[in-house]
């Protein structure tokens, strides 16, 4: 467990865990994230308010649970539409829009609306407690269900709402300290759909020809509303007893709280009148799992585990004339696979009622919804819709140019058409008809219509957005842009029409508005919804305008306004058609919002979303006294500059609203002044401690706001100014970066904070970082007496700052000393609640927080690269992060700390994960060997050893630090490295003069992106074609290394390379278009390396700089930037040798630097060069020289404008030596070849290619 207390190794159903602040904090984090991104309804403002003063809030919740005074708040109900079939029809010479009428009932069509989905809105505290219960039971419930991995799914039946787990044999380990909750929807849903097909294929091989195989789709009626909560708790107890050994007293208290929490879900009295929207028109207090609860899917699966076992007992057994082959379920969506004589097919519905329904209904609350029972016959050539969905998903994961996007658009349009036609086809009673012709071609829909529509339209929207990137606003290409704009509008209208036929598809309505934001599109929607809301005193105008439809209209209104705030308000002009009208749409929504708010009978959830929309759009609003809108009223008071600071509003209410008001206000300085006045008011009311808490909270999580507040206080000499300045000193805000050159401060003590805040922070590089860490460990005064070790309390002296990266013994050049402070920085206090009790654990955590702060150059050691970018737009993006939240979930990857220019390897990341470990975090040794329990002595030896290794690697000829990034990558047959050279044509050399050095002109950007997309797609196609020719299975990696030329890719097009890497499994090395680093235009290359860990697929993205400028670059103002040389090591290759196969790269002219080659020749096994060079003969000669003098393969990829890409290795025979060469200019070329890596490691003839090599050059023998 490292430095974390051993009790957190596994959570158990014990009281001490349920009321543990650490567990509750992780539960809050998971709940907060999930509700914001997945729930059908969310009070975003409430979520944001909960993030402020989170530590105090969690402590209060823990105390309530510990004292057994916690009681759930009343649940609020948000009725939402279920899938239904709405049409436009005529009645009494008037046209109506509503559910499809039953034409058999009367001469005048009567429209009957389906029951609604009772979404539950729970307080964030109740969500957190329920999630904490889930965390304590997760391992047991998931183990009971088994892994969904096809290779492990023996006796596995459940696929939906499965937690994201690791598996140790048949035992699940839920990663409760990570951010993920449920595993990926599409992956599990595809496995669920594929299983019946796979089982049917196996069964068909042994069944007689007169037997048919049938897939039966079953649905449980109102499942979530019908669950017995008492029975749910009993089921959870039984599962827990089977898997955990617990303390009896702790277990008893735990289950008492579980019963209190689960059985305490009570609907708000005001919402009880909405029970008519439930399926059975009745609400039972002790029944049902709230739909909207983050843990609801988990509890649902626990409730159905016994059903899985009962049904599984009948597999391979005959029930009547039917044999059950297999079954599986996705929560309450059950699939049975059966076989029977074909002539008995019409009796299957009756068989389900007689044999399956009794099995299901043995569980209290479960009932079969016979109206949704569906039977499909399996045929060998059946190709379900899910197969097409999977193919489209696979295609979308790769790079796509315009041609590929056109093909995808056509495929997705086809899926939409299938979904739209399916309902009409299924309206015909095929199975009741005794004519076999009626069943000659039954619809093969193995996914639900609404699921298919959501999938297709989401993918289609992304495809259209990709098209816009390839046809940006181009003055020379107006015709194509105009055509795409009209395509956007056409699909937007179609999406709205899809929603009109099924109002439960509100997400599709929002996609339509997103594609074409225009009042002409939204006004018909608003007009139709208005007709569902007659004045309260006036009876409905038509018989279908009843309460169900009114509630559907309210839900749609709420979602439209929420969408307008979270998505539309942040949409950029270039992302929408030129003839869209965002201002007109905004005005229409403002007008609609005012009309709705005039009606005091609108539901609270509509009022919430309208209020937030009006606030974000700086529109005044009189908010009626609707319960649930208190925070919104206070937000408007702040935005309006109301200075009535009543004592009723506590800090946790008012402070987050100040921060949000600052975000969205068009006059943020006014909000700063108002916040200052509030602090003044608190001082005058003798509430200085409260004022200090507010200032500390702002300084902790909102640095930009704190800086402006401090400046305002200094300008007008406020009474709280001294307190603010003290907090600024304590937090190191007052420490400014040292000016001038670092060498000016040689051999003198200076504040460490002022060093690390510089743009050229030396400790952002691994060598200096290691030296600082070792010096800190050896400076006794820094880690004793529980000091809050932080950079602004330490002074540093370096003999020569320009030599600090040389990786020598730090005792010879680096010194630290403690600076006494009156008070410390509370952020650096180790979290005693979760650390082991030994001294080493606390000291290592202090060291970790200190070192991470020095590495990122920020006094808040928890922040990441994305938080250090200033948000300048006045849009609502919420309060998604806080210091307290980040402390229990930091990312230490070099990219997360310092971006892709990070001069560190993953070794540092693993070190920081161990020093700053939080409960629930599990990691494996990826880089090097680490002791199970890290101590100061262990760490001192590790750091000293690492520094010695870095000293040997240091490039003495080039004066460059050299860093080796070790990765796990499987090569073909464990010895063949497959390389792809991509000779792209754009940009041409002249483009940098015509279009600007950064190639940012919209006209050129679309052209350039399109070219890279095409090249990436061609690489994929060529690799697949090669696999087919070789008749080998197409599995990843298709290639190991893909190389692009110098300046080939714009930084905004890296996503295309990521898709290429995803598709092929390859590492990529490419030159990037000139861009700014530290305010200088530089030329860099990029290593893009995919890898997998417990979080799924991740990326290593690192820059390789260029130091030597050509005359053309100097003319463009390009500056040298090459602070280090990066080597990629394939750690699991060259087994039995000192190290794995190593590759390093250079950018064009740098490859001519003999000192660089001298430093690398004994360290690397291959050298790659990205070039944009017209002197082909000289570079051919250079490759000839380098591949021999470095005695390793040298691969040069030049731009297609000049050609000459080549790969050579030091083989004796010429026809072996020249591996690849592209002749001619102005041509695109993709070359592929394989290298035997054992030819260029130690001599192991048995594993090598057998090709004879040249004699080694002097110095390498």
For 554-595, the pLDDT digits (tens) are 999 999 999 999 888 888 888 889 899 999 999 999 999 999
Q: What is the pLDDT of residue 1250?
A: 80
User: At CA 466, angle to CA 465 and CA 467, rounded to 5?
Assistant: 90
Identify the band that residue 210 occupies on the pLDDT scale cut at 50, 70 and 90: confident
Between 439 and 1172, where is the model more confident? 1172
Tell me which of 401-410, 427-436, 696-705 is least confident: 427-436
Assess whether pLDDT exceeds 90 at residue 1129. yes
Tell me which of 434-443, 574-583, 765-774, 988-997 is least confident: 434-443
Q: What is the pLDDT of residue 380?
A: 64
Q: Is 896 exposed, middle or buried (0-12, 13-18, 19+ CB in 10 A)?
A: middle
Q: Is 260 exposed, middle or buried (0-12, 13-18, 19+ CB in 10 A)?
A: middle
HSE at residue 65, side-chain half, CA atoms within 13 A, is 31
Among candidates 916, 904, 913, which has minimal Cα distance to 855? 904
Interval 996-1023 mean pLDDT: 93
What is the spatial distance between Cα 72 and Cα 126, in angstroms, rounded to a whole number?
Answer: 6
Which residues are 955's β-sheet partners? 960
Tell me which of 638-647, 765-774, 1133-1142 is least confident: 638-647
Q: What is the pLDDT of residue 191?
A: 87
Identify the band that residue 543 occupies on the pLDDT scale cut at 50, 70 and 90: very low
Q: What is the pLDDT of residue 1038?
A: 87
Give the tens place of pLDDT for each residue, 727-773: 999 999 999 999 999 999 999 999 999 999 999 999 999 999 999 99
Assess whether pLDDT exceeds 80 at residue 891. yes
Interval 458-463 mean pLDDT: 92
Instruction: Out of 193-197, 544-548, 922-926, 1194-1198, give the one with best mean pLDDT.
Output: 1194-1198
Between 570 and 23, where is the model more confident? 23
Percent with pLDDT over 70 in the chain: 91
Question: Does the N-terminal peptide bond of residue 1037 adopt cis geometry, omega within 30 degrees of 0?
Answer: yes
The tokens describing 229, both together, are: 């909560």
H or E element that contains 945: helix 936-953
Domain ranges of the chain: 6-78+120-377, 83-119, 396-601, 631-731, 742-871+888-953, 962-1241
Identify the band that residue 929 occupies on the pLDDT scale cut at 50, 70 and 90: confident
Between 1066 and 624, where is the model more confident? 1066
Q: What is the bridge-based pairing of β-strands 1041-1043 and 1067-1077? A: parallel
Interval 113-140 mean pLDDT: 93
Q: What is the pLDDT of residue 1076?
A: 94
Among candidates 140, 149, 157, which has minimal Cα distance to 311? 157
Tell me which of 23-37, 369-383, 428-442, 458-472 is least confident: 428-442
Tell me which of 43-52, 139-148, 270-279, 1037-1046 is least confident: 270-279
Q: What is the pLDDT of residue 930?
A: 82
- Residues 6+ away with beta carbon under 8 Å from 466: 400, 405
- Are 742-871+888-953 and 962-1241 in the same CATH fold? no
Q: What is the pLDDT of residue 933?
A: 83
Of the options 3.20.20.80, 3.60.110.10, 3.30.9.10, 3.40.50.2300, the CATH number for the domain spanning 962-1241: 3.60.110.10
Q: What is the pLDDT of residue 493?
A: 95
What is the spatial distance between Cα 623 and Cα 739, in angstroms, rounded to a whole number?
Answer: 52
SS3 649: coil
Inter-residue contact 100 to 83 (CB < 8 Å)? no
Q: Is 268 exposed, middle or buried (0-12, 13-18, 19+ CB in 10 A)?
A: middle
Q: What is the pLDDT of residue 475?
A: 47
Q: What is the pLDDT of residue 280?
A: 62
Q: Count the helices and strands in the chain (H runs, E runs).
A: 41, 27
Between 1017 and 1215, where is the model more confident? 1017
Q: What is the pLDDT of residue 137?
A: 97
Q: What is the pLDDT of residue 600?
A: 67
First to last CA, the chain: 47
Percent with pLDDT over 90 in the chain: 58
Q: What is the pLDDT of residue 156?
A: 87
Tell me which of 402-411, 433-442, 580-589, 1083-1092 is least confident: 433-442
Q: What is the bridge-based pairing of β-strands 976-983 and 794-798? A: unpaired
Assess whether pLDDT exceeds 90 at residue 992. yes
Between 873 and 398, where is the model more confident? 398
What is the spatial distance between Cα 250 and Cα 238, in angstroms, rounded to a whole number?
Answer: 16
Tell me which of 432-446, 1085-1099, 1159-1173 is least confident: 432-446
Enter the pTM of the model: 0.91
Q: What is the pLDDT of residue 545?
A: 46
Between 726 and 471, where is the model more confident? 726
* Buried b or exposed e, range 598-613, using 16+ CB within 10 angstroms: eeeebbbbbbbbbbbb
Q: What is the pLDDT of residue 880?
A: 75
Among candidates 942, 920, 916, which has minimal Cα distance to 929? 942
Interval 1070-1083 mean pLDDT: 95
Tell me which of 121-135, 364-378, 665-679 is least confident: 364-378
The set of long-range contacts for 264-271, using a CB threshold of 8 Å and a minimum separation of 24, is 264/71, 264/72, 265/72, 265/75, 265/120, 265/122, 265/126, 265/229, 265/290, 266/72, 266/74, 266/75, 267/74, 267/75, 267/77, 268/74, 268/75, 268/76, 268/77, 269/74, 270/627, 271/75, 271/76, 271/77
What is the spatial distance between Cα 669 and Cα 675, in angstroms, rounded to a whole number?
Answer: 10
Give the tens place of pLDDT for each residue, 169-181: 889 999 898 878 9
Q: What is the pLDDT of residue 1098?
A: 86
Identify the band that residue 686 occupies on the pLDDT scale cut at 50, 70 and 90: confident
Cα 283–chain centre separation: 37
Among candidates 911, 867, 903, 861, which has minimal Cα distance to 760? 903
Between 1248 and 742, where is the model more confident? 742
Identify the band that residue 282 occupies on the pLDDT scale cut at 50, 70 and 90: low
CATH 1.10.510 fits 742-871+888-953, yes or no: yes
The tokens describing 603, both together, are: 């539901």
Which residues are 1121's β-sheet partners? 1106
Other C-beta atoms lying within 10 Å of the C-beta of residue 882: 20
Q: What is the pLDDT of residue 540?
A: 44
Give the tens place of pLDDT for each residue, 1030-1055: 655 556 678 999 999 999 999 999 99
What is the spatial distance between Cα 607 and Cα 601, in angstroms, rounded to a whole number?
Answer: 10
Assess whether pLDDT exceeds 90 at residue 653. no
What is the spatial distance between Cα 166 and Cα 1094, in angstroms, rounded to a whole number?
Answer: 8
Q: List strand residue ranges (DSSP E) for 169-209, in order.
A: 171-174
Interval 1224-1235 mean pLDDT: 92
Q: What is the bridge-based pairing of β-strands 1125-1130 and 1141-1147? A: antiparallel
């Amino acid at each position: 467990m490292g430095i974390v207390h051993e009790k957190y190794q596994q959570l158990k159903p014990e009281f001490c865990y349920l009321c543990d602040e650490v567990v509750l904090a992780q539960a809050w984090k998971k709940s907060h994230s999930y509700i914001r991104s997945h729930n059908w309804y969310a009070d975003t403002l409430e979520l944001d308010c909960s993030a402020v003063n989170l530590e105090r809030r969690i402590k209060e919740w823990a105390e309530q649970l510990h004292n057994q005074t916690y009681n759930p708040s009343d649940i609020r109900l948000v009725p939402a539409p279920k899938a239904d079939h709405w049409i436009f029809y005529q009645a009494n010479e008037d046209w109506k829009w509503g559910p499809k009428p039953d034409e058999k009932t009367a001469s005048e069509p009567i429209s009957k609306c389906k029951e609604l989905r009772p979404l539950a809105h729970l307080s964030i505290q109740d969500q957190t407690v329920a999630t904490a219960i889930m965390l304590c039971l997760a391992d047991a419930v998931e183990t009971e269900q088994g892994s969904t991995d096809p290779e492990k799914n023996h006796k596995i039946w459940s696929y939906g709402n499965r937690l994201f787990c690791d598996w140790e044999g048949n035992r699940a380990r839920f990663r409760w300290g990570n951010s993920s909750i449920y595993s990926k929807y599409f992956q599990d849903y595809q496995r669920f759909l594929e299983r019946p097909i796979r089982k049917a294929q196996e069964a068909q091989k042994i069944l007689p020809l007169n037997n048919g195989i049938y897939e039966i789709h079953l649905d449980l009626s109102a499942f979530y509303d019908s669950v017995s909560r008492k029975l749910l708790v009993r089921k959870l107890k039984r599962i827990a007893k089977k898997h955990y050994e617990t303390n009896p007293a702790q277990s008893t208290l735990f289950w008492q709280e579980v019963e209190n929490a689960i059985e305490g879900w009570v609907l708000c009295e005001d919402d009880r009148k909405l029970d008519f929207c439930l399926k059975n028109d009745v609400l039972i207090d002790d029944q049902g799992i709230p739909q909207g609860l983050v843990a609801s899917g988990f509890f649902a699966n626990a409730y159905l585990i016994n059903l899985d076992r009962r049904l599984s007992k009948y597999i391979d057994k005959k029930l009547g004339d039917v044999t059950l082959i297999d079954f599986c379920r996705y929560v309450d969506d059950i699939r049975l696979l059966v076989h029977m004589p074909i002539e008995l097919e019409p009796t299957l519905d009756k068989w389900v009622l007689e044999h399956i329904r009794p099995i299901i209904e043995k569980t209290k609350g479960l009932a079969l919804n016979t109206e949704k029972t569906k039977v499909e016959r399996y045929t060998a050539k059946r190709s379900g819709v899910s197969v097409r969905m999977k193919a489209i998903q696979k295609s979308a994961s790769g790079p796509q140019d315009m041609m590929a996007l056109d093909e995808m658009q056509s495929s997705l349009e086809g899926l939409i058409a299938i979904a739209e036609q399916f309902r009409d086809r299924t309206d015909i009673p095929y199975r009741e008809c005794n004519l076999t012709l009626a069943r000659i071609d039954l619809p093969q829909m193995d996914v639900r219509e609404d699921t298919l529509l959501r999938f297709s339209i989401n993918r289609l929207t992304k495809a259209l957005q990709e098209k816009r990137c390839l046809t940006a606003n181009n003055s020379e290409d107006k015709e194509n842009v105009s055509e795409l704009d009209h395509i956007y509008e056409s699909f937007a209208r179609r999406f709205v029409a899809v929603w009109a036929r099924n109002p439960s598809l509100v997400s599709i309505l929002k996609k339509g508005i997103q594609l074409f934001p225009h009042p002409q599109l939204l006004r018909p929607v608003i007009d139709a919804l208005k007709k569902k809301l007659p004045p309260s005193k006036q009876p409905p105008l038509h018989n279908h305008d009843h309460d169900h439809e009114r509630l559907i209209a309210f839900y749609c209104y709420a979602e439209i306004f929420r969408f307008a705030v979270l998505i539309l308000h942040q949409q950029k002009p270039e992302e929408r058609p030129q003839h869209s009208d965002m201002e007109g749409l905004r005005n229409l929504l403002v007008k609609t919002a005012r009309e709705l708010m005039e009606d005091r009978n609108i539901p609270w959830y509509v009022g919430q979303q309208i209020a937030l929309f009006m606030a974000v759009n700086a529109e005044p609003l009189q908010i009626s006294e609707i319960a649930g809108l208190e925070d919104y009223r206070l937000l408007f008071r702040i935005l309006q500059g109301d200075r009535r600071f009543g004592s009723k509003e506590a800090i946790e209410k008012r402070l987050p609203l100040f921060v949000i008001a600052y975000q969205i206000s068009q006059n943020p300085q006014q909000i700063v002044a108002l916040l200052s006045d509030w602090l003044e008011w608190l001082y005058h009311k003798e509430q200085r401690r409260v004022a200090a808490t507010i200032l500390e909270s702002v300084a902790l999580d909102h640095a930009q706001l704190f800086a402006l507040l401090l400046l305002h206080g200094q300008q007008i000499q406020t009474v709280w100014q001294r307190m603010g300045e003290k907090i600024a000193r304590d937090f190191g805000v007052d420490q400014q970066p040292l000016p001038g050159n670092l060498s000016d401060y040689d051999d003198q003590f200076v504040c460490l904070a002022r060093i690390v805040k510089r743009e050229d922070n030396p400790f952002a590089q691994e060598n200096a970082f290691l030296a600082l860490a070792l010096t800190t460990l050896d400076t006794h005064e820094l880690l004793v007496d529980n000091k809050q070790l932080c950079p602004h309390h330490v002074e540093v002296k370096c003999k020569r700052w320009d030599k600090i990266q040389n990786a020598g013994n730090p005792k010879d050049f680096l010194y630290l000393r403690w600076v006494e402070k009156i008070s410390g920085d509370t952020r650096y206090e180790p979290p005693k609640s979760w650390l082991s009790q030994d001294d080493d654990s606390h000291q290592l955590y202090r060291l970790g927080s200190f070192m991470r702060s020095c590495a990122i150059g920020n006094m808040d050691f928890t922040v990441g690269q994305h938080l250090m970018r200033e948000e300048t737009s006045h849009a609502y993006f919420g309060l998604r992060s806080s210091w307290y939240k980040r402390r229990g979930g930091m990312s230490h990857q070099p990219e997360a700390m310092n971006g892709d220019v990070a001069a560190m390897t993953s070794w540092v990341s693993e070190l920081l994960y161990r020093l700053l470990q939080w409960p629930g975090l599990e990691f494996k040794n990826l880089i090097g060997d680490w002791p199970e329990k890290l101590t100061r002595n262990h760490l001192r030896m590790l750091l000293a050893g690492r520094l010695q290794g870095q000293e040997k690697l240091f490039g003495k000829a080039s004066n460059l630090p050299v860093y080796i990034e070790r990765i796990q990558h499987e090569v073909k047959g464990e010895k063949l490295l497959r390389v792809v050279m991509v000779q792209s044509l754009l940009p041409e050399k002249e483009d940098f003069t015509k279009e600007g050095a950064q190639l940012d002109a919209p006209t050129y950007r679309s052209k350039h992106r399109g070219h890279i997309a095409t090249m990436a797609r061609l690489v994929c196609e060529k690799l697949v074609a090669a696999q087919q020719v070789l008749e080998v299975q197409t599995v990843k990696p298709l290639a190991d290394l893909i190389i692009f030329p110098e300046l080939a890719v714009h930084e905004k097009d890296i996503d295309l390379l990521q898709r290429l890497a995803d598709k092929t499994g390859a590492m990529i090395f490419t030159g990037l278009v000139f861009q700014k680093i530290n305010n200088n235009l530089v030329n860099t290359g990029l290593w893009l390396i995919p890898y997998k860990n417990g979080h799924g697929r991740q990326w290593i993205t690192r820059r390789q700089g260029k130091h030597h400028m050509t005359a053309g670059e100097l003319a463009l103002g390009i500056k040298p930037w090459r602070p280090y040389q990066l080597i990629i090591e394939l750690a699991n290759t060259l087994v039995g040798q000192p190290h794995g196969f190593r590759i390093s790269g250079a950018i064009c002219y740098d490859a001519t630097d003999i000192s660089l080659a001298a430093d690398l020749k004994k360290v690397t096994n291959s050298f790659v060069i990205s070039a944009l060079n017209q002197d082909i003969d000289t570079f051919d000669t250079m490759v000839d020289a380098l591949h021999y003098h470095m005695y390793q393969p040298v691969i040069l990829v030049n731009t297609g404008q000049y050609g000459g890409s080549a790969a050579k290795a030091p083989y004796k025979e010429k026809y072996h030596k020249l591996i690849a060469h592209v002749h001619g200019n102005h041509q695109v070329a993709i070359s592929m070849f394989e290298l035997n890596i054992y030819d260029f490691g130690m001599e192991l003839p048995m594993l090598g290619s057998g090709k004879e090599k040249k004699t080694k050059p002097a110095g390498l023998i």
